[in-house]
Every structure is written in structure tokens, then in C-alpha cells.
Amino acid sequence: MHFPPPEILQLVDKILHLLIARDQTIAVSEAACGGLLSSYLVSIPGASRFFDGSTLVYSLKSRLKLSGWSEQDIVNYTGPSELVVLRLARNLRIELGSTYVLSESGFAGPSTNIGGVTDSIQFDNTEVGTVYVAISGPNGEVSKKVVTQTEDRAQNMQEFAKIGLEFLLEVLQKEDE
């Protein structure tokens, strides 16, 4: 098993070369990926030259504590959305001072009920396999929604991370045009 997988390694390599050449940095705010985005980025030797850090805001409690959300924000939370990931990216960019922040939130897999305990909250407006990604950077903020068409949780987590990295590379390359 290769970590990161070869296609991810190619994406990260392109991203790191662009960031290092520009003397820019990236931070990550992730939820549904469970830390994969950060793991992929720091798996490269010299990552400290471009990677500022990350937050893993998997639960609503962690969003409240780590992302500047108020109790009222949590009460009004209706599930992953482009507005949510834009806010996560914006808040972490302010906190860390990174050139760019990539954020994601989504619904990787179906909730399970083990011993009467449900492992996640499902929102009516969120289809399994849905991820929202956003980037906050010096030229503004962009976001998008992608649906993977699979209900496999582990596969979705990996696909969400790949989608995030591809989106970041696309944004970085557009800024070179």
C-alpha cells in the first residue's frame, strides 16, 4: 500500500511546487475527510515550508470550539453547505494567517445504529456522498458542491480529499493565468 496513493502524490507535488515558488502557505479545515487532507499534504518532505496547520471539526462541538461558531450557530445548523465551508475557510485563514485555506464538509457515509447509538447526524438536505469544498485566499473565496454517487464511507472520505486537492490545484493554476 502506498501512502499517499500515487494520483494523490502527483496532486500534492503540483500544489507544493506552486506554493513554494510563490512563498505561500496553505491550511486546512476538514470535517468529513477526518484528517486525510492534512495527512496527504504533510506526507511530503519539506511540508513545513507550505503547510501552516489544520483543524478537524468533525463534531458540532469542535466547530463551536475551534472555528469561532457561537452557540446560536450550532442551534441553527442545518447541515453541510457551501456557506458552512466558506465560513470555516475564512475563520481559519484569519486564525492562522495562511495565504490559502481549503475547507470541506459533507456526508461521507450512512449513519449506523450500533447498540442504540447513532454515529452521526443526518440532515434531510444532505445526500450520502455529498461534499462541499471551499477556498479562502488572497483573491477571494470560491466554493463548490460535488456528489460522488456512492454510499461507501471510506471511499467517499478518500474521494472528498481528492476533490479538495483537485479544487485547490485548479484555483492555484487559475491565478497563474
Q: Pick 65 or 11 by higher pLDDT.
A: 11
pLDDT at 141 over 50: yes
- Asked whether residue 97 is assigned to any structural domain, the reply reads yes
In a domain, 1, yes or no: no
Task: Answer whether residue 91 shows pLDDT above 80.
Answer: yes
Domain count, the chain: 1
57 located within any domain:
yes
Residue 130 lies in a domain: yes
pLDDT at residue 114, as a whole number: 47
The CATH number assigned to the domain holding 115 equals 3.90.950.20
Q: In terms of residue numbers, what domain contains 160? A: 6-175
pLDDT band at 126 (very low <50, low <70, confident <90, very high): low
Give the number of other Cβ atoms within 10 Å of residue 96's Cβ.
Answer: 18
Question: Is there a domain that residue 23 lies in?
Answer: yes
Does residue 145 surpass a pLDDT of 60? yes
How does the average pLDDT of the chain come out, rounded? 87
Q: Report if residue 101 sits inside a domain.
A: yes
